[in-house]
Every structure is written in structure tokens, then in C-alpha cells.
Amino acid sequence: MDTVILSGGTTLETLTFDGDAVRVASSDTALTFAGGSIKGHLTARDGALQTLRNSLNQLARQMVTAVNAVYNPSGTGQNFFDPAGTDASSIELASGLTGLNVRASVAGGAAGDGSVAQAISELDIQAFSSSSGDAIDGTMGESYSAAISLFSYSLSQSRMRHENQTGVLNAVRGQRESMSGVSLDEEAAELMKFQRAYQASARVISIIDSMLDTVVNGMGRG
């Protein structure tokens, strides 16, 4: 069913956006768009952008789990990341962790022991698997690269479709203008043609007037 928003300059309905859908304020009815800029924005938000968000959230979740497992293997000590940070928007260092108490070695390790720091650095090349309960497949670097590559591909496809549609629009506009538009060169030529015709008519009348004057006045005196 179509919803009439404006009629004769009068606003009949107001719209609201709740972060999920555009709704008619008076009835809280969600509108369905077949096209237009709003449809385009919603499609982008729920398509390629949402896919990118999901991938980054999974990567952040895996990073929190993997680093904490190395930094606090017993699960009873100080974590590196706050375990409550389960996505890219909530990932943060654990409460109580500062630059003064962060450690590079296991608890009670010998001087110069950097085993924890080394284990964390090696997480970059560790392969994870969703079938084993991990949040991602492959290494964290591969997961990030795949997410960015997929988003870049979706972006390039959108740009290509936009360029194609813009080309079609310009072609249609050109056809319309060729049928109903005004050509300045053509109009200038028409004006010049009428000007020359007026000048020719004026010349003919001037000659006829001169001839009549000669016939009436000159011949009459003879």
C-alpha cells in the first residue's frame, strides 16, 4: 500500500527512523522502499557494511580470546583484554592493566624471560578454525585481509553500477533534449533567416515606393 506523505504542499505524515527502518510516525508502520536514495543507504548498511562489521567483530572476539589464553592461561589471574569485549566496538584492555604491571613473562619467570610476549606475537601466524570453536578461519592477518578485500570488491562493484546507471541516465537525458530541448545554434540560425527576410521585404517595399514616386510625380510633370 502506498503512503502519501505530501499533498498539494501540505504535510500529511511525518517519518521517523529508529535505526532499523523508516516508519510513519502516526501508525508506526515500517515503509518498504522499491528504490531511491533511502533504499540505497539501507541496502548498503545491511549489505557490504554489515558484512564488514561482522568480520571485524569476529576478529576482535578471536583476538580477545587468544591473547587472554596466552597471557592468563589459568583464567584466574590478570587478563590482558576485558573478556566482556566481544566485538570491535567493545574491545578494550582489562581493568587494572597498566603500563607498569603488564608483563612479558610467565608469573615467576626468570629475568629476561619474554615467553608471554613471544607467544602473543606468534598468534599472528596461528591458524584458527571455526569448526574447532574459534571465531575465525585462518590467521588473524588473513581474516583481516579477507574482510577488507571483500569490502573493496563490493565497493568497486557499486561504483561500476553507479557509473553504468549514470551513463544510461545521461543518454536518456540527451535523447530527451534532442526531442524537446532548445538548440541555441539552431535558434540563432532561425533568427538570422527572419532578419534577412525582413531586410529583403523592406528593400522591395523601398524600391516599389521609389518607382511609384517616379511614375506619379515624374511622369505627371511631363
- 16 and 93 within one domain: no
Tell me, yes or no, whether 112 and 27 share the same domain. no
What mean pLDDT, rounded, does the chain reach? 83
Q: Is there a single domain that holds both residue 91 and residue 20?
A: no
The pTM for the full model equals 0.64
Q: Is the pLDDT of residue 15 over 60?
A: yes
Backbone phi and psi for residue 17, each to the nearest 5 degrees, phi listed first: -125, 120
d(C-alpha 175, C-alpha 153), whole Å: 33
Please, which residues bridge with residue 26 across strands? none
211 and 128, same structural domain?
A: no
Residues 152 and 205 in one domain: no
The total number of structural domains that make up the chain: 3
Q: Give the range of the structural domain holding residue 193, as residue numbers without chain letter.
A: 186-217
Looking at the structure, tell me whether residues 207 and 118 fall in a common domain.
no
In a domain, 222, yes or no: no
Q: Is there a single domain that holds both residue 66 and residue 156? A: yes
Residue 144 placed within a domain: yes
Bridge partners, residue 22, by sequence: 17
Q: Please tell me whether residues 39 and 23 are part of one structural domain.
A: no
**Is 134 in the same domain as 191?**
no
Examine the domain organization and report whether 51 and 161 are in the same domain. Answer: yes
- C-alpha closest to that of 97 among 69, 66, 123, 72: 72
With a CB cutoff of 8 Å and minimum separation 6, the contacts of 88 are 53, 56, 57, 59, 60
Question: Which pLDDT belongs to residue 210?
Answer: 82
Task: Give the model's pLDDT for residue 167.
Answer: 94
pLDDT score, position 173:
85
**Same domain, yes or no: 38 and 25:** no
List of residues 6+ apart from 122 with CB closer than 8 A: none
> What digits encode the pLDDT tens for the residues 103-161?
766 555 555 678 888 888 999 899 999 999 999 999 999 999 999 999 999 889 888 98
